[in-house]
Amino acid sequence: MSDDEPDLELLALLRQHLQGKLTISDEPETGVLEGAEYVYDNSIDVALDMRSCKNAAAAIYAQMQQKEYSPAKWSTHELHPLAKSESTVAFIFTMDLLNFSFWSAKPEAGRFAIMYCGKRWTGYWSLVAALQRALDEGIPITDSHFWQNEEECTLEVLKQVFRSCTDEEIPLLEERLACLREAGTVLYEKYECSPVKLIAAADGSAARLVNILARDFRCFRDEHRFEGRRKPIRFLKRAQIFVADIWACFEGESYGAFRDIDKITMFADYRVPQILNTMGCLAYSPPLDTAIRLKKDFSTGGKWEMQLRACSIWCVELIRREIKRNHPDAEINAILIDFFLYDTMKEIEEAGDESAPHHRTRSIWY
């Protein structure tokens, strides 16, 4: 938009304000849900099946109750840190700086994997295992001073941290080092080298913390242009899952106390669309469905990838609303629904069901 063109959105807001119809609260919004709805409304390759979403809401609620999904469940995963401490905040920050792109084009036996505690870990769990193993081996991988030290924190050392028990290396190793370097510099310049100070800057607002991460760290700024829309579509997946992991780990207390945690949306990755499609909630156009089944590469910010990510966010939001409509007192939000869907998809995959492959994008965003 050129400078001399009127900003119609701003004029509309001013008109509403002058008519007393607009209360501008200082509570921040992330804009993620608004962007997701816009893409959903303009999608031609992905649609939501409302009957399936209603059925899914009932099934998800029942299973979440039965499996007692709550923030406390986060700490029951054997690799997640248990201490409610600053070092756990640093661990989670490191983890969510690097929490992206673990999928492999190789068969299960040959894919990147980490041996730790006598078990073979793949995907997201390979990341958590690698960080735990590094700490056991005396590598200060969660310390932002280390990330900035170019003599100590080298690509070779990071290769050692993520050494695989197969022939395949972790994808995007150089990009992961760049994320640590940038984060170390920003923490040094703005937050006294402390992720705890970063959380404190949000003053108890989850939305504000997501916005701070997107503003101050390029590697968290997961936002992309969609067709002709002037404002970028914000997914902010790793920024949001960082806030969610802190909230869940600390069970809404201490560093995890956020008064607006319910503003966090589903995390637009490659796993949850997969299970939403399996449940019939997400429907794909034939060309898109074929491209996913043929395991084609999807470009970052491409129209198919944007629709998949945005419609997944919007789908989980509709499922959340349906659950709350039927169970107004249910302590459920998009985070817990997302965690449940991710874990369930992993159980389906571990049972060997490869019937619905996921879309494949290689990026640092998810």
Nearer to ligand 56B, 12 or 72 (CB): 72
Instruction: Tell me phi and psi for residue 3, to 5 degrees.
Output: -60, -35
User: Which bin fits 104, alpha (ψ -120 to 50), beta or left (φ > 0)?
Assistant: beta
**Binding flags for ligand 56B, 77-106, as an x/- string (CB under 6 A):** x---------------------xx-xx---
Reported as half-sphere exposure (CB side, CA atoms, 13 A), residue 351 has a value of 8
Nearer to ligand 56B, 187 or 249 (CB): 249
> CB of 274: closest distance to ligand 56B in angstroms?
9
268, 237 Cβ separation under 8 angstroms: yes
Q: How big is the CA angle at 366 (ends 60 and 97), to the nearest 5 degrees?
A: 115
* 267 sits near ligand 56B (criterion: CB under 6 A): yes
Footprint (CB under 6 A) of ligand 56B, residues 101-160:
102-103, 123-124
* 271 sits near ligand 56B (criterion: CB under 6 A): yes
Active site includes 26? no
> CB of 20: closest distance to ligand 56B in angstroms?
40
Task: Calculate the dihedral angle through the C-alpha atoms of 185, 187, 190, 193, rounding to the nearest 10 degrees.
Answer: -120
> CB of 6: closest distance to ligand 56B in angstroms?
39
Sole binder of ligand 56B in the list 112, 250, 314, 366 (CB under 6 A)? 366
* 40 sits near ligand 56B (criterion: CB under 6 A): no
* 338 sits near ligand 56B (criterion: CB under 6 A): yes
264, 125 Cβ separation under 8 angstroms: no
Pairing of strands 114-116, 119-121: antiparallel
> CB of 68: closest distance to ligand 56B in angstroms?
12
Give the span between the Cα atoms of 33 and 366, in whole angstroms: 17
159, 189 Cβ separation under 8 angstroms: no
Cβ contacts of 248 within 8 Å, gap of 6 or more: 71, 72, 73, 74, 75, 256, 335, 339
Closest residue to ligand 56B, based on beta-carbon distance:
123
* 74 sits near ligand 56B (criterion: CB under 6 A): yes
* 298 sits near ligand 56B (criterion: CB under 6 A): no
> CB of 294: closest distance to ligand 56B in angstroms?
20
Catalytic residue list = 269
Applying CB under 6 A, which residues contact ligand 56B?
A: 74, 77, 99-100, 102-103, 123-124, 267, 269-272, 338-339, 342-343, 346, 366
